[in-house]
């Protein structure tokens, strides 16, 4: 099986969560990272960062669509005159699965659940429904996270997506965690504090303390 790391918003920590999940579960397993749609290629891409952090342990797959400006995918596609075809993304997903049936993927989403992918109103949440993969929700730990997380959980359930878990990113906040678990009717899988210096060593160290109960392990069984 595989899973998709999604977020309540942009810049919430999806890439770091993806890298830590990969580092946590790569031992004894064949894993790969894939971010099918990405913007902001003018700077270092998320794929390049994950390759630097955990590329020595997992396969790194290239994006299906990569755009320069750091804007919403539907706008980036329009500016580049290269619209996104969801069917191509889904076909690539199947191809990656067939390349090595024993390999599991950690797929990284883009933006929040309802970010538009196409000009016709096809959203990331539609793509997730079509992918039929479990979703690991990355959310901030600080002010505003209760509302954003509950709205995201509501969207996940409305689309009948399989929720693999919730990861809170940032300084630990027991009150926000308790509120999310109570009002969201969910258990927080892990809390990941901001890493002061992102790199291979810090990702590996964080992975050793991540999901100590192994709640995500079933998603990486062949």
State the sign of the Cα–Cα–Cα–Cα dihedral 171, 172, 176, 182.
positive
Residue 49 in tokens: 């960062």
Catalytic hit among 14, 30, 35, 174? 35
Q: Which residues contact 166 (CB under 8 A, 6 or more apart)?
A: 136, 137, 139, 149, 153, 180, 184, 186, 187, 188, 189
Catalytic residue flag (residue 177): no
C-beta of residue 136 within 8 angstroms of C-beta of residue 17: yes
Sheet strands (E) in the chain: 3-7, 31-34, 37-38, 59-60, 65-66, 104-108, 135-140, 163-169, 188-192
- Measure Cα distances from 52 to 44, 104, 129 in Å: 11, 20, 30
Positions annotated as catalytic residues are: 35
């Amino acid at each position: 099986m595989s899973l998709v790391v999604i977020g309540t918003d942009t810049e919430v920590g999806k890439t770091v969560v993806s890298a830590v999940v990969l580092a946590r579960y790569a031992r004894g397993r064949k894993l790969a990272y894939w971010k099918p749609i990405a913007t902001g290629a003018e700077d270092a891409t998320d794929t390049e960062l994950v390759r630097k952090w955990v590329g020595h342990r997992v396969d790194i797959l290239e994006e299906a669509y990569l755009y320069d400006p750091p804007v919403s995918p539907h706008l980036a596609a329009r500016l580049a005159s290269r619209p996104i075809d969801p069917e191509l993304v889904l076909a690539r997903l199947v191809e990656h699965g067939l390349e090595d049936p024993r390999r599991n993927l950690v797929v990284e989403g883009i933006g929040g659940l309802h970010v538009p992918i196409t000009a016709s109103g096809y959203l990331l949440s539609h793509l997730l429904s079509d992918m039929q993969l479990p979703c690991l929700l990355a959310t901030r730990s600080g002010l505003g996270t209760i509302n954003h997380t509950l709205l995201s959980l509501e969207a996940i359930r409305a689309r009948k997506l399989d929720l693999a878990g919730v990861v809170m990113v940032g300084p630990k906040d027991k009150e926000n965690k308790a509120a999310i678990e109570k009002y969201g009717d969910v258990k927080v899988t892990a809390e990941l504090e901001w890493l002061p210096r992102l790199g291979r060593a810090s990702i590996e160290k964080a992975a050793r303390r991540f999901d100590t109960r192994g709640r995500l392990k079933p998603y990486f069984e062949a």
